[in-house]
């Protein structure tokens, strides 16, 4: 079958929409008609770095199941699904439902091929790398690993639900599962893009006493305040760690860093009270080393987090319930673009003009 897909090619500034061929579902796979796909910074980062090419990215797909491959029994054609991270299902992490720490997380999500080395996409007989996060959702159809699909209620538009697959789930899961924030805790959130704002909403949801948002973009800080931040700090106004310590006397019990500037790592550690934990979701973009004495002297911890430590099949339906109750209004982060405006969506995400771009597919 011929579909439209956004293809990342060597040296191109943005993915280009091209006609490609998609295979029929093999065992354990599903064909999903993509209704919408979010764009996450990981798409932009992978597009800009050397790797498998040509490659169809996209890992926040939402759509309708059209066909099932052999052996898929827990889904049916017509089901609405959100696509999330891929995993092997058999390694020690998967057996503990810690899917984002699957021992095969890199090949299964970034390798561009099925475990047997084949790809479901091609163009004039030439291979196109796909299976990004098991889905490659920047396309009108996805041949996804059925493990990635989370069935969602059909009465909420899929274009709203798409970002639950990665960014929103990561921000909320980091606060709820990884940092285990609770009543009376305080958190400083560095970088309030989609992941950081989801963290702000989750921190309010669990009853954190103080939620401090740090960012350079005034419109994002204003949104953070509307979504639950008790304090906001313009990162250009001085040493954010010192401002946080002044606000809280001893520092915060937790920090959550979604930025990749080395200064954000330094400050997210320096703002911690003794026994505080600093979570982060991306590697620093330049050389950085923690202040080991500060870590040691207060029993502080620095904690890497992937995917918010969630089990998507449990966590995504829970977030949808909170959304229905009006307690997790993540749709406030979204701006929609038609699929053909993918270049504009990439640019607006890079500059921070748009918090969460979601592409609507012409299906
Ligand atoms: Zn695994
Ligand atoms: Zn992502």
- Answer whether residue 128 is part of any domain: yes
Mean pLDDT value across residues 84-93: 96
Give CA–CA dist 15/173, Å, rounded: 30
- Please tell me whether residues 157 and 30 are part of one structural domain: yes
Task: Give residue 9's domain range.
Answer: 2-165+329-360
Residue 338: pLDDT over 90: yes
247 C-alpha vs ligand 1 centroid, how far in Å?
42
For residue 272, how far is its CA from the centre of ligand 2 (angstroms)?
27
> Which-ligand-closest: CA of 135?
2
Which-ligand-closest: CA of 92? Answer: 1
Ligand 1 center from residue 90 Cα (angstroms): 5
Say whether pLDDT at 189 is over 90.
yes
Expressed in angstroms and rounded, the spacing between residue 108 Cα and the centre of ligand 1 is 9
Evaluate whether residue 322 is within a structural domain.
Answer: no
Both tokens of 242, joined, read: 């010192």
Ligand in closest contact with the CA of 133: 2
pLDDT in tens, 199-233: 999 999 999 999 999 999 999 999 999 999 999 99
If asked whether residues 140 and 176 sit together in one domain, one would say no
* Other C-beta atoms lying within 10 Å of the C-beta of residue 295: 15
Residues 158 and 178 in one domain: no
CATH number at residue 263: 3.40.50.720
pLDDT averaged over every residue in the chain: 97
What's the structural domain count of the chain?
A: 2
pLDDT band, residue 363 (cuts 50/70/90): confident
Measure 167 CA to ligand 2 centroid, in angstroms: 5
Residue 85 Cα to ligand 2 midpoint, Å, equals 9
Measure the CA dihedral 299/300/306/310, to 10°. Answer: 70
Q: Is the peptide bond before 296 cis (omega within 30 degrees of 0)?
A: no
pLDDT tens digit sequence for 8-44: 999 999 999 999 999 999 999 999 999 999 999 999 9
By the 8 A CB rule, do 272 and 245 touch? no
Which CATH number do you get for residue 26? 3.90.180.10
Whether residue 239 sits in one domain with residue 159: no
Which H helix or E strand runs over 118?
none
- Please tell me whether residues 124 and 180 are part of one structural domain: no
The reply to whether 37 and 160 lie within a common domain is: yes
Nearest to 166 by CA among 262, 286, 327, 282: 282
Ligand nearest to the CA of 105: 1
Cα–ligand 2 centroid distance for 232 (angstroms)? 25
Provide, rounded to the nearest whole percent, the portion of the chain with pLDDT above 90: 99
């Amino acid at each position: 079958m011929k579909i439209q897909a956004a293809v990342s090619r060597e040296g191109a500034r943005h993915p280009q929409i091209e006609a490609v061929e998609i295979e029929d579902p093999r065992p354990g796979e599903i064909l999903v008609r993509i209704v919408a796909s979010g764009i996450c910074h990981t798409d932009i980062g992978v597009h800009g770095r050397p790797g498998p090419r040509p490659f169809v990215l996209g890992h926040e797909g939402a759509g309708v199941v059209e066909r099932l491959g052999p052996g898929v029994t827990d889904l049916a054609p017509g089901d609405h699904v959100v696509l999330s991270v891929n995993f092997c299902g058999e390694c020690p992490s998967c057996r503990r439902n810690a899917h984002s720490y699957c021992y095969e997380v890199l090949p299964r999500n970034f390798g561009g091929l099925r475990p047997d080395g084949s790809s479901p996409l091609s163009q004039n007989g030439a291979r196109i790398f796909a299976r990004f996060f098991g889905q490659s959702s920047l396309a009108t159809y996805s041949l996804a690993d059925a493990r990635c699909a989370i069935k969602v209620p059909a009465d909420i538009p899929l274009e709203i639900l798409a970002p639950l697959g990665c960014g929103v789930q990561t921000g909320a899961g980091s606060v709820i599962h990884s940092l285990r924030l609770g009543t009376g805790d305080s958190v400083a959130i560095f970088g309030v893009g989609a992941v950081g704002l989801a963290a702000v909403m989750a921190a309010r949801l669990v009853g954190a006493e103080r939620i401090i948002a740090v960012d350079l973009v005034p419109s994002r800080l204003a949104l953070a305040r509307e979504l639950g931040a008790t304090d906001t700090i313009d990162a250009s106004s001085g040493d954010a760690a010192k401002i946080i310590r002044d606000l809280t006397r001893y520092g915060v019990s937790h920090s959550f860093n979604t930025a990749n500037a080395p200064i954000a790592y330094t400050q997210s550690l320096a703002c911690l009270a003794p026994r505080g934990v600093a979570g982060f979701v991306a590697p620093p973009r330049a050389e950085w080393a923690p202040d080991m004495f500060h870590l040691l002297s207060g029993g502080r911890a620095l904690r890497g987090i992937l995917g918010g430590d969630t089990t998507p099949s449990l966590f995504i339906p829970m977030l949808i319930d909170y959304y229905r109750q009006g307690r997790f209004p993540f749709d406030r982060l979204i701006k929609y673009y038609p699929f053909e405006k993918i270049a504009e969506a990439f640019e607006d995400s890079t500059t921070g003009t748009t918090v969460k771009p979601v592409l609507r597919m012409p299906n």
